[in-house]
Chains A and B, each alone.
Chain A
Amino acid sequence: MTKKNTKIEKQKPILSVNGLKVHFFTDEGTVKAVEGASFDVLAGRTLGIVGESGCGKSVATRSLLRLVDSPGKIVDGEIIYRGDANKKEINITSLKTSGSDIKSIRGGEISLIFQEPMTSFSPVHTVGNQIIEAIKLHKKLNKDDAKGLTLDWFKRVGMPDPEQRMNQYPWQLSGGQRQRAMIAMALCCDPKIVIADEPTTALDVTTQAQILDLLKELQEENGMSIIFITHDLGVIAEISDDVSVMYLGNIVESASVDEIFHSPKHPYTTGLLNSIPSITNKNRERLPTISGSIPHPHNRPSGCTFRNRCQNPSDDCREGKIEMKLIEVSPGHFVDQCCINCG
C-alpha cells in the first residue's frame, strides 16, 4: 500500500466543514439529516466517511456543492473552501444556489462520482456528449478539442474501445465501463476535490478493486483530494488516509486511518470495527452487533445522540446534558466529548 503516512504538516485544509446543519422541512416534520457535522479535507489526501445508512453522509457531502434537494436547507454552519492559495477562501454556505460562483465550483473545483452510474447518466444522450458538456462548461475549448480531451480521459480511465464508447448510450456500457465514464466526467475539468459517494457499491468485487486502483492512480497523477463515502471498512482501509465516522448527522470520531483501526475511541467506531467479518473467526460465532437501534431522525435524542446505545454512559451524558463536540485526544485524533470514556 502506498499510504502517505508522512507526518501531517500543519498546512491549512483545502476544505473545512464546521458545525454543518442540514434540515429537511417535510410535511411530517423536520428531519435533521445533518446536525452539526465538522470535518476537514486535506490537499492531496483521501478522507473516508463511514457510517450507517441514513446517517447523513450523502446529504452532508452534497451540501459541499449546494445540491441538497428541495425541502432540505443548510440551516447553520460553514463550509470553507481554500482551493487556491493565492485566492481568498470561499464560504460555500453563503453562495447563492444558482449563482455563477457555485456553478464554477461544481464540476470545476469539486466534483461528484455517484453510486449508481446507470441512472446517473441521461439515457437519451451519448456518454461522450455528457462529458463534452462538462468540459465546455469549465474549459474554454472548442467542440473538437473538448472531444479530444474526452477521448484522452477515456483512455486514462482505461475504457476499452474509447472512440466507439464516446458515441454510445449509457445503457450500452457495462457497469464498470459506466463507472469509468463517470470518473472521466468527474475528473475531466481537473477539480481539486472529488467526492465519491459509494462509487463501488453497485459493482462486483473484481471491478470494485479495479475502480479503487484507478482512483488511487489518478490521485497520484493529479494530486486531487478525494472524499470517499462507503459502508465498507475494508474499502476505507485500502483507500483512505484519514477517516471520519458519522453517526446520526454528526461526525463522532476523526483520525488517520491507522489511529481509527488501531486505537478507536468512540464506542460506535469500535462497534463498526468489531462487526467486520474476518477469516480468523474460526468458531463461527455470530458477528457482534451494536446493541440498540438508530433513533428515527424525527426524534433525535438531545445532547449525545449515541447515549441510548452506549454501554456505560456517564450520568450527565445519560441525561443528555452534554452537547456534542469534537475534542482532540491526541494529535489529529478527534472524538466526541461525551463518548471519550465510553469505548
Chain B
Amino acid sequence: MSSESNIEKVDNINSEERVSVASQGQLIWWRFRKHKLAVFSAILLLLLYLTTLFAEFFATSDPLESEAFRGLIQPQPIHFFDEGKLSPHVCAMEGTRDPYTYKKTYKPNCDKKTPVEFFTKGYEYEWLGLIPMDRHLIGVPEGYLAEEHIFLLGTDIQGRDMWSRIWVASRLSLSIGLVGVTLTLIFGISLGGISGFYGGFIDTIIQRIIEIIRAVPTIPLWMALSAAMPFSWSIVQIYFSITLIISLFAWTDLARVVRGRFLSLREEDFVTAAVLSGANERRIIFRHVMPSLYSHIIAAVSLAIPLMIISETALSFLGLGLQAPAISWGTLLQGTQNVQSVALYKWLMIPAFPVVGSILLFNFLGDGLRDAADPYSD
C-alpha cells in the first residue's frame, strides 16, 4: 500500500473523529453560531438586561415626578447642531390653551434653546437601591431643571416623562420574565421529569393534568386570580404573585419537552448501561439524563420568557397586574386604553416598541436555540 494513501486515510479518520468527539454542548454551540439572527438577538438582549441595571442613569428625570401643568407634551427631539456647530440642544416647549376647548397644546419654540449635556448631574437616585448617585447619561446644565425642560419621548397625562419611565419600567417588565421562567422551570422540569422517568400511572395523571391546563383559557383565570389579590399588598408581593400566577399555567410546554426527552432517553443505551451498573435513580437523572436536556431547556426557556412578558403587559394593561406606583411597560400602556387619546397623543404608544422589540429578540433567539438543540424537530 502506498504511503500517500495511508496519509490520506489518517486524515480522514482524524476529521471524522474530531466530529464525533465534540461534546453535545460544543455541537449545539457550533450549530447555534450559524444562526446569525439568533446570535445577534442574544447580544442585544444581553445589552438590554445590562441597561436595566442602569435604568436611572439613562433616565433624564424622576419617573414618578408628576405635574399636571406639563401633561401630554409631545416628544422633543435633540438637535445636535446649531448653525453648523456641534451644540446639542432641545427647543423649548410652549403650551397654549385653546380658548374654546380649553385643551392645552404644545409647540416647540426654537428661539429658546435648552442646551443638552452628557454625563451630567440630575435628580438623585440610589443605584441598585444602595449607592446614592446623581449622574445621568443625558441632562441639562445646572440652573435648568430636567423635569421642566427635556422630554425626549413626551409626557403622559400626569406630566411624567415617558423616556425616563420607559427605562425604569424595563426593569420590572424584563425581570418578570426571568423570575417567572425560573418558577416555570421548577414546575416543568420536575413534573415533566417525573412523568417521563417513571411512566405508567403517574405519567397518565400528569399528562391529563397538562391536557386540562392547556384546555383552560388562561387569560380569564389570570385575571380572576390577580383580581383577587388584596389591595393592601405591596408592589413586591404583587410582583411575585403575578409571576406565580403566570407560571402556574406556563409550565406545561416545558414539561412536555422534558417528558419527551426522558421517554426517548430511557430507551437509549447509556441510560440502560447506567441502570445495569447499579447507579441509583438520582445519580442517573443528574449525571446522565440532565446534561442531554440542557439544550432543550434553554430553548424552551427562551421561548417562555416572551410569553411571560406578554402576559404581564396584558394584565397590567387591563389594570389587573402591577398597579401604580409600580412602573412596567404594561402600566405605561394603560394610558392608551382610550382611542381618542391614542389618536391625539401618539407618543403614548411608544412603550409598545420595547415590548414588541424584546419579544421579537427572544423569539429569534429561542428559534435559533431550538434549531441548534434539535435540528430534526420543527
Question: What is A's interface to B at a CB cutoff of 8 Å?
Answer: 291-293, 295-296, 299, 301, 307-309, 311, 313, 318
Contacts and interface: CB of A to CB of B under 8 A. Distances in A.
A102 B4 CA distance: 46
A309 B12 CA distance: 14
A314 to B, nearest CB: 12
B5 A307 contact: yes
B8 interface: yes
15 contacts: A292-B5, A292-B9, A293-B9, A295-B8, A295-B12, A296-B12, A301-B8, A307-B5, A308-B4, A308-B8, A309-B5, A311-B1, A313-B2, A318-B2, A318-B4
Nearest to B2: A318
Interface of B: 1-2, 4-5, 8-9, 12
Contact of A293 (B1, B2, B4, B12): B12
Contacts of B8: 295, 301, 308
A309 B4 CA distance: 11
Contacts of B1: 291-292, 311
- Name B's interface SS: helix
B17 to A, nearest CB: 13
Most buried by A among B2, B5, B8, B12: B5
Given A292-B5, A299-B12, A308-B8, 13 more contacts: A291-B1, A292-B9, A293-B9, A293-B12, A295-B8, A307-B5, A308-B2, A308-B5, A308-B9, A309-B5, A311-B1, A318-B2, A318-B4
A119 B2 CA distance: 45
B267 to A, nearest CB: 20
A308 B12 CA distance: 13
A307 B9 CA distance: 12
Contacts of A291: 1
B273 to A, nearest CB: 28
A120 B180 CA distance: 46
A153 B250 CA distance: 55
A309 B1 CA distance: 8
B178 to A, nearest CB: 34
Contacts of B2: 308, 313, 318
Contacts of B4: 308, 318
A293 B16 CA distance: 13
B113 to A, nearest CB: 56
Nearest to B11: A299
A248 to B, nearest CB: 14
A80 B2 CA distance: 40
A88 B272 CA distance: 63
B195 to A, nearest CB: 28
Contacts of A301: 8
A290 to B, nearest CB: 12
Contacts of B5: 292, 307-309
Contacts of A309: 5
A313 B8 CA distance: 16
Nearest to A318: B2
Nearest to A301: B8
A291 B5 CA distance: 11
A258 B2 CA distance: 33
B241 to A, nearest CB: 48
A310 to B, nearest CB: 9
Nearest to B34: A27
- A293, A299, A308, A309 pick with most chain B CB within 10 angstroms: A308
Contacts of B12: 293, 295-296, 299
A184 to B, nearest CB: 34
Nearest to B15: A296
B371 to A, nearest CB: 13
Contacts of A295: 8, 12
